[in-house]
Amino acid sequence: MSQTRSLMRLERLLETFLEQVVATKQERLSVLRGINRLDDLTRESDQGLDITEHVGEWFAEHNRWLNEPQLRAGDINRIAPMLSKIRESLDNRGDESAASMKIRSEIARWEPKARQASQKLVLRRGPEGVEPQPSRPPETPTAEQSTGQPEGEETIARLDSVLGRMQRLFTGLSHGRKHVLSALDSALRSATMQRQKDALLLSGFIIYYLKQNGYKVEPYVKRLKEAERLIREEA
């Protein structure tokens, strides 16, 4: 086989490989494209540019994500602060146009999705063998109440679910970071700005882990307490 022929075969082989990788990631790439576009718009709005029309187009294209499962918790944790920032710049500009009001209402539609990524942990009884305190507020009904699971197993299932969400959150926050401190910083920001309880729990866990490994954690503890206060106030 001539060198030219070998090169052409290799070219075709490499192109096919890349095409197939892209094909297997089609859905993920479409999510990334949407997040990247929103990120561009957020930056433009930060620079004071009028992006109302483009954000409207973004919602028109991506609002279906609200009802479809392709978004990961990490994606929502990316999208939510961008939308907050866009709303903030609309507020700063004092833009009360109909288009801008529409954008605000679209952003509001995304808020439950952001909250859903950080569902609350509701402990409905104390540890085994301890009677519930009579002074406690009424317990929040949960989906598990209708599953017929015994309460003890229910608490384990709930913690298991929270740990799973924290793991996914950590994967999202640490993606592309060089140090766990960067992931902690992002987690604390999510807890503070988006009042995300999972992010708060994850921050607490990382802080304790760092403390055990000899890091100075005081500044982070302060931020954790502040985030905790904000979340408590909002609850």
* Residues of this chain that bind other proteins (CB under 8 A): 2, 4-5, 7-8, 10-11, 14-15, 17-19, 21-22, 25, 29, 32-33, 35-36, 39, 42-43, 78, 81-82, 85, 175-178
- CA gap 221, 166 in Å, rounded: 19
Non-local (6+) Cβ contacts of 216 within 8 A are none
- CA gap 222, 227 in Å, rounded: 9
CB of 5 to other proteins, least distance (A): 6
Question: 26-46 and 52-62 are packed helices; what angle lies between their axes, rounded to 10 degrees?
Answer: 160
CA distances from 111 to 50, 134, 164 (A): 23, 34, 22
Contact 177, 145 (CB under 8 A): no
Residue 16 or 145 with smaller CB distance to other proteins:
16
Residue 17 or 209 with smaller CB distance to other proteins:
17
Residue 70 or 147 with smaller CB distance to other proteins:
70
Residue 175 or 225 with smaller CB distance to other proteins:
175
Residue 39 or 228 with smaller CB distance to other proteins:
39
CB of 212 to other proteins, least distance (A): 24
CB of 19 to other proteins, least distance (A): 8
CA distances from 91 to 84, 94, 95, 167, 178 (A): 10, 5, 6, 35, 35
C-alpha angle with apex 81: 100 to 48, nearest 5 degrees? 45
CB of 186 to other proteins, least distance (A): 10
CB of 103 to other proteins, least distance (A): 18
Nearest to 82 by CA among 40, 126, 130: 40
- 3-state SS class at 175: coil
CB of 79 to other proteins, least distance (A): 11
Residue 41 or 166 with smaller CB distance to other proteins:
41
